[in-house]
Structure 1
Amino acid sequence: MTAAVTGRAVPARELIAALTPAFTELPRAAEAAAADGPIGWPGYGEARARARARTGEPESVVCGIGDVGGTEAVLIAFEFGFLGGSIGEETGARIENAFITARDLSLPVVSLIASGGSRIQEGMCALTQLQRIARQMVRLRAAGLPHLAVLAGPVTGGGWATLGAGADVRVALPGAQIGFAGSRTRPPGADADAYTAEAQFAAGQVDQIVPAAGLGTVAARWLRLLTAPAAGPVAPPKALRAVPPPDSGWQAVRRAREADRPGAEAYLKAYFAERAPLGGTDPGLLCGFGMRDGRSVAYVAQCGAATRPAGFRAATRLVTLADRLSVPVLSLVDTPGAANDAEAERDGVGAAIAETITAVAGCRIPVTTLLVGEGGSGGAVALTSPGHTWVTPDSYYSVVAPERAVAILKRGPDDVPTTAEQLRLRPQDLVDLGIARGIVPAEPA
């Protein structure tokens, strides 16, 4: 398959063939009765006839069912050669029928998108198809079925603002043009590099950039992860360092801050056989889905830094998606607290924390939490599952870090160790207080 980076939009049938060797097309909706479309655009019928002759397709989208690496799915593939893959009434009808079929058969949906947006020659009749498509996407979500978008490019306008950006997981071909504004509608002098798969990935709007040759493998992996949930809640990981419980609160704090203590990445690597990350812009937080014992578990893990608003929003997205798909969640807590600088406040850190706390609290399958390092204040509590929290022997959990507690209480720096003891933040204290269910044992050597 030719990648989008070559400058040629990949034909619909070529995209389908990259994902599945066996494809059964869905029955096609009846073609429009009016030759020049719903608003009588002069020459529209002739333009459609030329598009049919050029592409061999009767419309700008091909819909059907195929086996993608062992998971049966409904595929919606855009043909960019048909009037720029634009969305008109017939396109909307075919997409609607595809989503209804997916719900009827309890199948996931894969959208293979190369679309310039709404079809000008159909006016507002075309634009309202976005509402039609969005309605079906909402119903698919309500049915607990996943939607994977493959952004083959170009993906602009309504194609991006519905099927693309609105999908549960978004992967893109390298160099694909992706953005709400198409090349002919951008402001003069706009930076073209901002409208690329790479720019959208950097902004957290695309989850993965996939070389064309690996598209089938990646799509199959995502479908497995989104459709094969483990029975939850899952068991917490074992501790990766065998140490005795700390003798004092201050020792617990200092131990949790040691540079050589195992962090989130080490725990994820030990827990999962394979992982697929979701996009995000906070490097201090990792989100995604992983395979453990052949079943899918979602994860959100703090990496020892102050979690920023974008990190909490990424966590909320992950937890909400996993809950809708009945995939259990593992959260690893390790943060001195939420970011509290002026930029974080302007970015709505309080609201972002609130959304994450609500998402965790509302999960139908309880989130399993393991405290693996520092558990500082609201930044930690946002990802902590009440009643389903465990701790490692080299962690602590506190209403606020001892140094900040001293400042709040107007005590001196020499009072930090005493204050740490008073906070009862040691792992064994947390178990005694009923905050944690237990201290996890160390992984056997």
Structure 2
Amino acid sequence: MSGVDRLNVPEFERPIVELEMKIEGRRMDLANVADNEEETKSIQGEIDELEKDLKKLMDSVFEKLDPWDRVQLSRHPNRPLTDDYLAALFDDVQELQGDGNFKDDPAIITAFATFEGTKCMVMGHRKGKTLQERLKCNFGCAHPEGYRKALRKMQMAQKFKLPIISFINTPGAYPGIEAEERGQSQAIAEAIREMSGLRVPIITLTIGEGGSGGALGIGVGDRYLIMENAYYSVISPEGCAAILWHDAKKASEAARVLRLTPNDLLELGIMDEIVPEPYGGAHRDPRRAFDTVRTHLQKHLKELMALEIDDLMEQRYQKLRSMGKYIEVAA
């Protein structure tokens, strides 16, 4: 992590980052005394002890993460984003812009690409990394034209018989007046309806935030995967807390009752598989995270492409019908 990034981490991770910075500082000191054997031995001994302390600290933090901690990790400033996965996992990426009606929305990227030799359509929410990119991408909150763009490209994928891989990472669809004027809810509803009936394999992977309709707009598929420290919810914890308790500071409690963690979602039958992350989160070892995602996508894509289309559609229908749990109350 760079110095700037280290200033903007979850509170529970700060002691770890501070200790890592201290170790790095002592390593720099070690390089400066390479000609002094006694000083080298002393500093190396100190580094060894600090590394033991670091491991103990990381164990104490990362082995007892609560739902709110995972929400914070899903938003981590150094967490790999859709563009990072595109660069690491896909070849021949050719971005496709515009909704054919109004304009392009940078908050959603759509592209032709090749994944491990298989041509596909890939799409995902785009948050941006720098302040300028985040403003341009509206922090991953898509407008109606973003969902219409995605739908247009999904229909193109069906025409060319290409599987679809969708990366989900949004706090929610943009709720502004102009978005509502241009038909935000209709755009999302149409995307959900059309995705449900596309006669090509669809894999969705939630890599960070899975916020409500904003996630669903490109989130209907045959296999639903989620990263270990991502979440998927009808509303953000802060929004839920503000509505239920009129206090956004109760987000931690809201995260618990919303049951938005990967384990909860797996139990509820919403997600099909949890993709493990490197110890401490994907931001601590992005390359390893990419390799793990590649393995899981390969497995599911191979299974789905081996199915007859009618069987694929029936499985998708049954999956959608079985999602969630409910109780019927007699009248």
| TM superposition score normalised by structure 1 | 0.44
Give 1:292's aligned residue. 115
- Alpha-carbon displacement from aligned partner over 1:255-308 (angstroms, at most 9, x marks no partner): 111110000001111221211111131111100110123331101110131011
What aligned pairs does 1:321-336 form with structure 2 within 5 A after superposition? Answer: 321-336=156-171
Question: 1:77 is matched with which residue?
Answer: none
1:244/1:393 contact within 8 Å kept: no
Matches for 1:361-372 after TM superposition, within 5 Å: 361-372=196-207
Correspondence 1:399 to 2:234: yes
1:374 equivalent in structure 2: 209
Structure 1 position 268 matched with structure 2 position 91 = no
Structure 1 residues 126-275: aligned runs within 5 Å: 247-275=65-93
**Map of 2:315 onto structure 1:** none
| SS of match in other structure, 2:189 | helix
- Maintained 8 Å contact 2:148/2:187: yes
1:63-142 matches, cutoff 5 A: none
Instruction: Using the TM superposition, give the Cα deviation of residue 386 of structure 1 relative to its aligned residue in structure 2, in angstroms.
Output: 4.7
Alpha-carbon spacing, 1:294–1:351, altered in 2? closer, same or farther (3 Å): same
CA distance, structure 2, for counterparts of residue 245 and residue 302 of structure 1 = 29
Secondary structure in 2 aligned to 1:391? Answer: strand
Q: Structure 1, residues 170-194: CA drift from partner, whole Å, max 9, x if none? A: xxxxxxxxxxxxxxxxxxxxxxxxx
Query: Given that residues 248 and 426 in structure 1 are in contact (C-alpha distance below 8 angstroms), is that contact kept between their aligned partners in structure 2?
Result: no
Equivalent residues of 1:354, 1:382 under 8 A apart:
yes
Decide whether aligned partners of structure 1 residues 322 and 444 sit closer, same or farther in structure 2, where only a CA change above 3 A counts. Answer: closer
Larger Rg, first or second structure (1 or 2): 1
Q: Say if 1:329 and 1:245 are closer, same or farther in 2 by CA, change over 3 A.
A: farther
Distance 1:377 1:245, change over 3 A: farther
> Per-residue deviation at 1:443?
4.2
The answer to whether the 8 A contact 1:285-1:300 is kept is yes
The residue aligned with 2:95 is: 277
Residue 303 (1) aligns with residue 126 (2): yes
Q: 8 Å contact 2:240–2:254 — kept in the other structure?
A: yes
| Secondary structure at the counterpart of residue 286 of structure 1 | strand
Give the Cα separation in 2 of the matches to 1:252 and 1:345.
Answer: 31
Change (3 A) 1:381 1:248: same
**SS across alignment from 1:379:** helix
Corresponding residue number in structure 1 for 2:34: none
Q: SS state of the match for residue 178, structure 2?
A: helix
Distance 1:415 1:373 in 2: 21
* 1:341 aligned onto 2:191: no
CA positional deviation for 1:411:
3.5
Say if 2:203 and 2:221, in contact at 8 Å, map to a contact too: no
Q: Is the 8 A contact 1:246 1:426 kept in 2?
A: no
1:422 aligns with 2:257: yes
* Number of aligned residue pairs: 203
Higher helix share: 2
Over the residues paired in the alignment, what is the CA RMSD in angstroms? Answer: 1.9
- What's the TM-score once normalised by structure 2's chain length? 0.58
The answer (yes or no) to whether the contact 2:239–2:248 under 8 Å persists in 1 is no
Given that 1:333 and 1:373 are in contact with CA atoms closer than 8 Å, whether structure 2 keeps it comes out as yes
Change (3 A) 1:244 1:271: farther
Determine what percentage of the aligned residue pairs are the same residue.
36
Q: Tell me the amino acid that sits aligned with residue 259 of structure 1.
A: P
Secondary structure of 1:275's partner? Answer: strand
1:245/1:399 Cα in 2 relative to 1: closer, same or farther (>3 Å)? farther
Contact kept, 8 Å, 2:266 with 2:273, in 1: the verdict is: yes
- Decide which structure has greater strand share: 1
Out of 318, 323, 328, the residue aligned to residue 153 of structure 2 is 318
Distance in 1 of aligned mates of 2:259 and 2:164: 28
3-state SS, counterpart of residue 173 of structure 2: coil
Higher relative contact order (CA 8 A, sep 6+): 2
Deviations 1:392-427 (A, max 9, x none): 112111110011111222442332101111111112
* Superimposed CA distance per residue, residues 414-442 of structure 1 (whole angstroms, 9 cap, x where no aligned partner): 32101111111112211121111111244
1:244 and 1:372, CA in 2 relative to 1: closer, same or farther beyond 3 A? farther
Tell me if the contact between 1:371 and 1:391 (Cα under 8 Å) persists in the aligned partners: yes
Q: Structure 2 regions of 5+ residues with no counterpart?
A: 1-60, 99-103, 128-139, 277-288, 293-331
Partner amino acid, structure 1, of 2:116 = D
